Structure 1
Amino acid sequence: MYQLERAIFDLRRGVPVLITDAEGDRLVRPLEGHHAGELATLLERCGQAPRLVVTRHRLAAAGFHAPSEEVALALGDEGLPEALAEGEIPSHEARLPATPAERVALGMLRRGQLVPVALAATPRAGGEVERLVADGTLLALDAREAEVALANLGRELTRVSEARVPLADAEVTRFILFREGDGMREHLAVVIGEPQAWPEPVPIRLHSACLTGDLFASLLCDCGEQLRNAVRDIHALGGGVLLYLDQEGRGIGMANKLRAIGLQEAGLDTLDADACLGFGHDERGYASAVAMLHQLGIQRVQLLTNNPRKLAALTEAGIEVTKRQAVYGRVNEHNRAYLTTKAGRSGHWLESLLDQDDSA
């Protein structure tokens, strides 16, 4: 786990990482923040043109067929075409299934909330890369071990701190902070009311953090209103828990969320904008939410949600969902397209909300 954590932070700083595997070692670095000097250094260390590793989502958004979930574009000896640096996918580049090391590289970029596009090259045997790994300048990690560690992230949580935090809509409330095992994500359990007085099943909501909506009341979504309405509803039901999850932008992070909003300004819907960056329709997982519920001793719930994926995730993890309750914000001229996309393409239960007039 420690090696994976350090490798992700190195990639976030633009430092290459060596990922080793029997099918071929790869020296990788994110395309994000790329400039010509760093590419020249990569070419010098490896002695060959790199491959550009992308997701099938990015290829599909560009109109190309992907042979696998992660794809490597074999670049020519001239290096990185300008169009690729700008995010385009030229039609003439050979598209090959990514190697295990390249697949892990994209998983690490996702975890680091970077755009999932990587440059990857095979280092020379006995060359400078080996020397830099030996003296600790570059980090090397095993692809298989990193893949297992990535798959298990979020399942181990530490309860770090807690305090009473009275809220306007729920005065008897306690915040409990949980930290994931790699230290990169922190989640809050907002415990409303006294647990011994909670109804059975326990009312809960899984709320993904949305800085723009929750804090700044952005009109582009209904997240802030959903958050406050959920607190109010849980309090009215006799208490329960709102899990405030560090999953900004459906799991892609604030930087990529702002990039996606920019693409929406150009006419894309919220899901196609994410795909252009290389992300799936929803990058969130709910292992952390399940772990938090287990630590809080909650097994049977009344779930406040409009999202079928949240209900399915809890059920598959063994949490008994006995009832679902909708929780809405308001529709306005700025968020109607966003909500319509969530209902039409992601299956969210929003029909009754969207039937309302914008002025309602």
Structure 2
Amino acid sequence: MTLGPSTVEWINRARADLRMGVPVVLVQDGAAAIAVAVEALDAARLAQLRVMGGELVLAITAHRAATLKARAYDGDLARVLVPQDAPLAWLRNLADPADDLAAPLKGPLRTQREGDAGLHRAALLLAKSAQLLPAALVLPVADGAALATANGLTLVRVTDVLDAHDQGAALLPVVSARLPMEATEAGRVHVFRPDDGGVEHYAIEIGQPPRDRPVLARLHSACFTGDVLGSLKCDCGPQLRAALAQMGAEGAGVLLYLNQEGRGIGLANKMRAYSLQDQGFDTVEANHRLGFEDDERDFRIGAAILRRMGFTQIRLLTNNPAKMRMLAANGLEVVERVPLKVGETRHNAHYLATKAAKSGHLL
């Protein structure tokens, strides 16, 4: 019997450490490296890493590498060699595109071609899952386990990071309670907590939808700016209210409120994307310049919650065919797509057009 952390708990510790600027140790097949998120790195810690010797490498995604004109020999990422005299500002400018237009010439950048990129890939996955900019400083070390023990650092295996990413977290029901709402007095909120220590997700059940027939359902990604502040840059708030109103009118339905802000990149990175949009980039281009995919959401979460609640067939309120495909791939039968076309304004017309043209939304 052991009281020590499980694999899932070690990975969550690693995420938390990266958010605080604390390095973590990654190990794979006899190789090891220290990794730290550039966004949270400070000058003192950078100096400490340099004192240790060895060659510092900046891991960035292929999307960010394309913006920086750096060669991504590993396909999905690039390993940029860090000059010995490079200051912290140089690293941050490579990680953060905020000043790309003001200072577009950051190279030429030298990138690694030889050797395995597994440690660097795991560092980027951890940074993304911590909702940090996907840029990590990586320093190879000889004995990762000894270094972690001596310095009190979290040590995780690359295979565990990859497995956690591929499998996703298990969702555990926490509590449910009745909640009368404007849309209906027959409302109930269910709270689900992932076992990896991540943020909770919610299911808003309208009425008492039968489990043996298709239920009117929506997967709604949290949007603080749209749902709470009434932002005119997106259609999220109107979609949320329209979906609940339609469920209330029909007397039954379930809306999943998934805490995957900014299509899975988090509020801070969404605000960075908004800033880039003000510079003239569309929503997809902004995500790519930041180093993210078009959409980083995990639709398996919604499928798992619906199955856990006993639903197997759904009428999906969505304009996004990708949601239908992902739910079908995860054990749900989508018997009907119910359009949800509301909330277009002069402020979001270009955003909606980009979603239609580049992300396949049916608008």
State TM-score, norm by structure 2: 0.90
1:49–1:79 Cα contact (<8 Å) kept: no
Note if 1:303 corresponds to 2:310: no
Q: Equivalent of 1:93, from 110, 130, 153?
A: 110
Q: Quick check: 135-144 or 206-215, which moved more?
A: 135-144
Partner of residue 351, structure 2: 338
2:70–2:110 Cα contact (<8 Å) kept: no
Q: What fraction of aligned residue pairs are identical, expressed as a percent?
A: 38
Partner of residue 218, structure 1: 231
2:171–2:304 Cα contact (<8 Å) kept: yes
Partner of residue 26, structure 1: 33
Q: Equivalent of 1:275, from 282, 288, 294?
A: 288
Note if 1:5 corresponds to 2:5: no
C-alpha RMSD of matched pairs (Å): 1.9
Q: CA distance change for structure 1 residues 288 and 314 in 2, over 3 Å: closer, same or farther? A: same
Measured in 2, the distance between the counterparts of 1:184 and 1:81 equals 30
Partner of residue 326, structure 1: 339
Residue pairs, 1:257-272, within 5 angstroms: 257-272=270-285
Note if 1:200 corresponds to 2:213: yes
Q: Which runs of 4+ in 1 moved over 6 A?
A: none
Measured in 2, the distance between the counterparts of 1:237 and 1:201 equals 13
2:42–2:88 Cα contact (<8 Å) kept: no
Q: Which runs of 5+ in 1 are unaligned?
A: 351-360
Partner of residue 51, structure 2: 44
Number of residue pairs matched by the alignment: 344
Q: Equivalent of 1:158, from 172, 176, 187?
A: 172
CA deviation after TM superposition for structure 1 residue 153, in Å: 2.2
- The amino acid of 2:122's aligned partner reads V
Partner of residue 97, structure 2: none
1:153–1:180 Cα contact (<8 Å) kept: no
State TM-score, norm by structure 1: 0.90
Partner of residue 154, structure 2: 139
Measured in 2, the distance between the counterparts of 1:343 and 1:250 equals 15
Q: CA distance change for structure 1 residues 65 and 346 in 2, over 3 Å: closer, same or farther? A: farther
CA deviation after TM superposition for structure 1 residue 131, in Å: 5.2
CA deviation after TM superposition for structure 1 residue 142, in Å: 1.1
Deviations 1:29-65 (A, max 9, x none): 00103333221111113x1231000001111233455
Measured in 1, the distance between the counterparts of 2:335 and 2:42 equals 53
Q: Quick check: 75-84 or 18-27, which moved more?
A: 75-84
Q: Which runs of 5+ in 2 are unaligned?
A: 1-7, 95-99, 101-105
